[in-house]
Protein backbone atom coordinates (compact mmCIF):
# COMPACT_ATOMS: atom_id res chain seq x y z
CA UNK A 1 0.00 0.00 0.00
CA UNK A 2 1.45 3.39 -0.97
CA UNK A 3 2.36 5.77 1.79
CA UNK A 4 0.58 9.08 2.32
CA UNK A 5 3.54 11.05 0.97
CA UNK A 6 3.54 9.01 -2.26
CA UNK A 7 -0.17 9.59 -2.77
CA UNK A 8 0.26 13.30 -2.00
CA UNK A 9 3.16 13.56 -4.47
CA UNK A 10 1.15 11.82 -7.20
CA UNK A 11 -1.82 14.14 -6.61
CA UNK A 12 0.38 17.24 -6.65
CA UNK A 13 1.99 16.09 -9.94
CA UNK A 14 -1.42 15.54 -11.51
CA UNK A 15 -2.65 18.92 -10.32
CA UNK A 16 0.51 20.61 -11.63
CA UNK A 17 -0.02 19.02 -15.05
CA UNK A 18 -3.70 19.99 -15.00
CA UNK A 19 -2.95 23.62 -14.15
CA UNK A 20 -0.19 23.72 -16.78
CA UNK A 21 -2.60 22.35 -19.38
CA UNK A 22 -5.21 24.95 -18.51
CA UNK A 23 -2.60 27.72 -18.72
CA UNK A 24 -1.59 26.53 -22.19
CA UNK A 25 -5.20 26.34 -23.43
CA UNK A 26 -6.17 29.88 -22.36
CA UNK A 27 -4.30 31.64 -25.23
CA UNK A 28 -5.89 29.26 -27.75
CA UNK A 29 -9.36 30.44 -26.73
CA UNK A 30 -8.24 34.07 -26.64
CA UNK A 31 -7.10 33.86 -30.28
CA UNK A 32 -9.99 31.75 -31.55
CA UNK A 33 -12.64 34.35 -30.69
CA UNK A 34 -11.64 36.38 -33.77
CA UNK A 35 -15.09 37.93 -34.36
CA UNK A 36 -14.87 39.58 -30.95
CA UNK A 37 -11.65 41.47 -31.70
CA UNK A 38 -11.80 41.86 -35.50
CA UNK A 39 -12.51 45.57 -35.13
CA UNK A 40 -10.79 48.87 -35.61
CA UNK A 41 -12.16 50.61 -32.51
CA UNK A 42 -11.13 51.07 -29.76
CA UNK A 43 -7.73 52.32 -30.73
CA UNK A 44 -4.79 52.35 -28.36
CA UNK A 45 -2.23 55.01 -29.26
CA UNK A 46 -3.63 54.97 -32.80
CA UNK A 47 -3.30 51.19 -33.17
CA UNK A 48 -6.55 49.33 -34.00
CA UNK A 49 -7.93 46.79 -31.54
CA UNK A 50 -7.16 43.88 -33.88
CA UNK A 51 -3.41 44.50 -33.67
CA UNK A 52 -2.97 45.50 -30.04
CA UNK A 53 -5.19 42.63 -28.86
CA UNK A 54 -2.97 40.10 -30.62
CA UNK A 55 0.20 41.79 -29.40
CA UNK A 56 -1.13 41.81 -25.84
CA UNK A 57 -1.96 38.11 -26.04
CA UNK A 58 1.46 37.35 -27.49
CA UNK A 59 3.05 38.71 -24.32
CA UNK A 60 0.45 37.07 -22.06
CA UNK A 61 0.93 33.74 -23.86
CA UNK A 62 4.66 33.87 -23.23
CA UNK A 63 4.04 34.44 -19.53
CA UNK A 64 1.43 31.67 -19.30
CA UNK A 65 3.65 29.20 -21.20
CA UNK A 66 6.58 30.11 -18.95
CA UNK A 67 4.54 29.42 -15.81
CA UNK A 68 3.30 26.14 -17.32
CA UNK A 69 6.87 25.09 -18.15
CA UNK A 70 7.93 25.92 -14.60
CA UNK A 71 5.11 23.81 -13.13
CA UNK A 72 5.92 20.88 -15.41
CA UNK A 73 9.66 21.03 -14.69
CA UNK A 74 8.98 21.21 -10.97
CA UNK A 75 6.64 18.21 -11.19
CA UNK A 76 9.24 16.27 -13.15
CA UNK A 77 11.89 17.27 -10.62
CA UNK A 78 9.76 15.70 -7.89
CA UNK A 79 9.78 12.43 -9.86
CA UNK A 80 13.58 12.22 -9.78
CA UNK A 81 13.80 12.53 -5.99
Report whether pLDDT(64) > 70. yes
pTM over 0.75: no
pLDDT at 3: 53
Residues 45-74 as b/e (b if ≥16 CB within 10 A, e otherwise) read eeeebeebbeeebeeebeebeeebeebbee
pLDDT at 4: 47
In residues, how long is the chain?
81
**pLDDT tens for each residue of 3-41:** 545 545 666 888 888 999 999 999 999 889 888 777 778
Instruction: Give Cα 48 distance to the centre of its chain.
Output: 25
Instruction: Give Cα 19 distance to the centre of its chain.
Output: 8
Task: Please give the backbone phi and psi of residue 44, each rounded to the nearest 5 degrees, phi first.
Answer: -120, 110
Amino acid sequence: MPSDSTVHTQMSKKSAYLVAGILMIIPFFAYIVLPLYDKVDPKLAGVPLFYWYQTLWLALSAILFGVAAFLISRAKGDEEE
